Chains A and B, each alone.
Chain A
């Protein structure tokens, strides 16, 4: 009897588990973050582009040196104007409110700045009363952020971050195509042109302003600096990051390599060479013989085109004596290299969390480390006439290297947050 009972019980139990299966359901709760755009009419936004009293720095972005002034972008907010007549005592004197701003360039008191998808020309003759002169629309098409529909009369002025739970497929209102951008604009030859760093997306060469978007290069004729005229737009490929003009060429840093465009016809830069490598971030600078490229494998990104990144953080020195036969001369390992600058034989490298490194680059095959400053997370640097201005995560640093054997920190403007 017991035997039958146990068998019956077993069979019943097996039957029950299949019957009860209908009563139990597995559940999955997904928690995700999405961003909701806040729209504002273009007219309203443009009306707000003007000077205001100095504001404390809350974040650092790109910078341009213009005469005795530093124009320091605060990403998506605007530009801090800093009187740097005395590098030991820089004074934050005003703020130009430009929502969505990431890049700047300056020539003859005309400040060129991006505002989301558009390029502005601002008269900065009177720094206390910057005046918006012109808007050229639709330049940075990769920055058109939409929620399914695009309204050309509006800008997305801010974003609201939401974290939510759902049992459904999640949706994200983000533009993955937007690339990281901490950059500055590069100098041209004229004295009245602002000087920038290596991570720029804006560059001025003589009477032309060049801007790179994620995949395009646009040239503007700025013969009349207050009235730039868009002349030509060309597609370069994808993942363009920086532009650096030197010696009649544009060195364009892309995640896939370094592109060189000649300026024989400055209105229409023409492709000249491509020095390829893997998928990395790579600001470029150059001198008469070599291009210096910092490769940074972003640890937070899985790779471009879905290809996993191999961790490579290094300085590549490329021999460009013959651009048609450019070759990799030397590789130096780095920690997290970003912007760089060169003044004479001295090479300044922002090595991210490893700080600022200064090398004697007289012999590119044997760079000599002169000095390194640790404890700051550096983004970009402009070094000229014995003064190195360094943008770091926690502020703007200035180092005097007039005596290369005694490089000193002369001032720092802190981020207030």
Chain B
């Protein structure tokens, strides 16, 4: 619940920053600030789900660099934190951009998973995406659609109490799971 709140706050914060930037239009750096907020359909071999993300950063000519946070509901619910980059490939007003980001994926502590009585720990893994965005300018803002390949990793340790005949006692020899989720994401968003 705290994480949901955190993500919501980040979204709100990005709007606030942008509003602040518009007030201070004369200042170049703030003028370059952009916030890209998107929702995406995530499709992979384990099913279809959704993710939302907020990327906030600065534009320098053809390059946009920012930091992002999201909520990824695919298989294991997680919150990725990442560094994001956009590069304008074609177009002036409406642009096709090469998009890439990379960071860490933090799974939520509780998941919709029945592990019986066994304790389970979810651990952070990698997160990255690469793809293309189509950015359609709309006055000062822009509508974004994009398609990308998305990778997220979730590591899981499941308590596994078994008799260890080497030391002759029951020990927790955890089962370790390393999930590599490879997805295609279709994203729509709004850039402020």
Chain A positions within 8 Å of B, measured between CB atoms, are 2, 6, 9-10, 13-14, 16-18, 20-21, 24-33, 35, 37, 75-76, 102, 145, 156, 158-159, 161, 170, 172, 174-181, 298, 300-303, 306, 308
Contact = CB atoms under 8 A, between A and B. Distances in A.
Interface stretch (B2-10, B27-35, B50-58, B169-177): B169-177
Interface string B129-153: 0000010100000010111010000
B92 to A, nearest CB: 13
Contact of B185 (A9, A17, A177): A17
B186 A17 contact: yes
B166 interface: yes
A302 B159 CA distance: 9
Contacts of B171: 300
Given A13-B145, A26-B44, A26-B46, A300 B161 contact: yes
Contact of A178 (B165, B166, B188): B165
Given A2-B136, A6-B145, A27 B179 contact: yes
Contacts of B118: 302
B94 interface: yes
A24 B44 contact: yes
B162 A174 contact: yes
Nearest to A174: B162
B73 interface: no
B145 A301 contact: no
B178 A300 contact: no
The 4 A-B residue pairs whose C-beta atoms are closest, nearest first, are A302-B117, A24-B182, A31-B176, A17-B184
Given A14-B186, A17-B147, A176-B163, A75 B168 contact: yes
Given A28-B178, A175-B165, A176-B162, A306 B147 contact: no
B49 to A, nearest CB: 12
Contacts of A180: 169-170
B181 A31 contact: no
Given A17-B185, A156-B165, A180-B169, 13 more contacts: A2-B94, A6-B134, A14-B41, A14-B186, A17-B147, A26-B75, A30-B178, A32-B175, A35-B165, A75-B168, A161-B164, A174-B162, A177-B163
Contacts of B86: none
B44 A303 contact: no
Contacts of B43: 17-18, 21
A25 to B, nearest CB: 5
Contacts of A300: 161, 170-172
B145 A9 contact: yes
Contacts of A175: 163, 165
Contacts of B143: 6
Contacts of B180: 26-29
